[in-house]
Chains A and B, each alone.
Chain A
């Protein structure tokens, strides 16, 4: 978790830099999530004030979009594709394997804080299904073994 002071100055910097763009809210929310990993509830009043919006409006936008989150993610976020092309290549079995391996469900984080698991509905990698993303890294033709290797590598790094 970020120190409250650092958190607020980061939010302030991002908001000041972007608030005059037309339709600035999404760019600001992306900026905050890129910097902090999530959009802390405490940042909402600052963002709302800078854009002349109510807190409820800002909160409403954050909650509308699956990608934005208001809780800290694990060190690595795994986006596992659930969509049709990946299903045709065994993504359901893979999903079971992943959930068992990490012992968490979608929208959860492992107790050691290493991995968060999120569903995603197509990564545009449907020619190499099943697909997943870990952070910005994309993986294709993911087998249970490939998944285990990727996870073990990241565990050793961290």
Chain B
């Protein structure tokens, strides 16, 4: 019998050489006349070990990593096909602490399976949620989602069930399900891992959403920076059509749902839901005034559910195991699990899915192992480019939406970017203003003009010009942005800027915190 070997097709693994390693393994096996079955899986999300090769043995899947092309002949010599030791051996993959300590609900399959193999998806609990949903009334599907306590994972944390209920109760002959796959937040990659590593779970989640609210057309708005996710989604969608999981008669139920991927074009603002819908309609991505809510008048003026990839990919397990099952994870009003992404200057970067409620410190040190450079961690930015910078004194904050709001910070899409003590926080604040200026849709003056003024003022501060006059000016500008912006791009740029100023005044040339106020 031939041995099964897994080499990830995840784009981060590829960026570290996974394609070349896969080719080298195939070549070496052929040269030695050994029959192998080489499967490209998603990534387990342990990126310091990528490319991570797994071999199926009688005891389980044995890992080797990080593997480079030059390691491949040696791995064969050491009989890695029998799971034998080698200096790259990691032992049984499921026994690795980093994985074992996680609670993977949304990411249950990712890294285990061939992402675009529909049979494998079904064998591994796929489409169980849809099967249940097909026998339920729309109200009952929505009720499970409401009961689960799921809140939007795209950033705003709005309860998903409430949103769906509004669309369900807004009659129209045409409604839409839109998946926000713009994943513009720096420091985040969980959407990408789902789309590359388990695209069927997103397709299933969107199909269930369609049944729940009476929508027959779905769009995935995908950022153009993700070509591998694009390919995986298109392949999976085609297979789902062939097997009647999409189309006019889903699993002989008489229910219809069509799905198409549309590409963005490099505009961060198009992740904002109304801008995204403008873009889908073929326009400039200008943010719309709300109301009307997208749930009532969204894409092409029709009732529209718009949800993040992770929100939608969490729906199948909720419909499979019930809303209460999901709700039993988490704390307070943050229910279920959050796939956290550890990024930046961190020793063990990766994907950590856990119930809400552990501390930032546990993530940074117990999982992340501290900084990659070995220097002290000085600041972390949580929640993307509009998220606050947290100093060491806030590392005991719980991963919980309300706990973060309590310290004027956000969890957002769950990205955590780590900086060591070489970071210059005034430079980071300047970058936040510059980013706002580059990505502003241009609709409001504070965001369009104020952001440019903002980085000019910070330039002056960095150069030591009139610091005593310029600090209050910067604060005034932030006030104007906070209060005078239509959307969170302008409205939240003050989070990283002011948190940098308040927690790290010394980087702005202010000697004590009192003067920074």
Contacts and interface: CB of A to CB of B under 8 A. Distances in A.
Contacts of A124: 11-12, 183, 188-189, 191-192, 225-226
Contact of B279 (A26, A79, A121, A123): A26
Contacts of B381: 84
Contacts of A133: 225
Q: Which of B16, B300, B438 has the most CB of A within 10 A?
A: B16
Interface stretch (B145-153, B336-344, B397-405, B461-469): B336-344
A123 B428 CA distance: 19
B349 A26 contact: no
Interface stretch (B93-101, B156-164, B265-273, B503-511): B265-273
B226 to A, nearest CB: 6
Nearest to A24: B282
Given A29-B265, A61-B284, A125-B189, A88 B15 contact: no
A87 B345 CA distance: 9
Interface of B (DSSP majority class) = mixed
A128 interface: yes
Contacts, number: 149
B15 A83 contact: no
Nearest to B420: A88
A127 B350 contact: yes
A125 B344 contact: no
Interface stretch (A5-13, A65-73, A97-105, A108-116): A65-73
Contacts of B279: 26
A85 interface: yes
Contacts of B516: none
A23 B341 CA distance: 33
A128 B16 contact: yes
B215 interface: no
A44 interface: no
Nearest to A123: B225
Contacts of A89: 344-345, 372
Contacts of B45: 127
Contacts of A29: 265
Given A61-B282, A84-B417, A125 B11 contact: yes
A30 B265 contact: yes
Contacts of B267: 64-67
Contacts of B342: 127
Interface in B278-327: 279-285, 300
A51 B47 CA distance: 45
A129 B344 contact: yes
Interface string A14-31: 000000001111110110
Interface string A116-158: 0000111111111101010010111100000000000000000
Given A84-B417, A122-B185, A26 B15 contact: no
Contacts of B300: 22-23
8 contacts: A64-B285, A67-B224, A67-B265, A68-B266, A83-B186, A120-B266, A124-B191, A127-B189
Interface of B: 11-12, 14-16, 45, 47, 50, 183-189, 191-192, 224-228, 262-268, 279-285, 300, 341-345, 349-351, 372, 381, 385, 415, 417-420, 423, 428, 431, 435, 438-439
Across the A-B interface, give the 5 residue pairs with the lowest CB-CB distance, nearest first. A25-B282, A67-B266, A140-B15, A83-B186, A65-B265
Given A65-B285, A138-B14, 12 more contacts: A23-B262, A27-B263, A61-B284, A67-B224, A68-B266, A85-B187, A88-B344, A89-B344, A121-B435, A124-B11, A127-B45, A140-B15
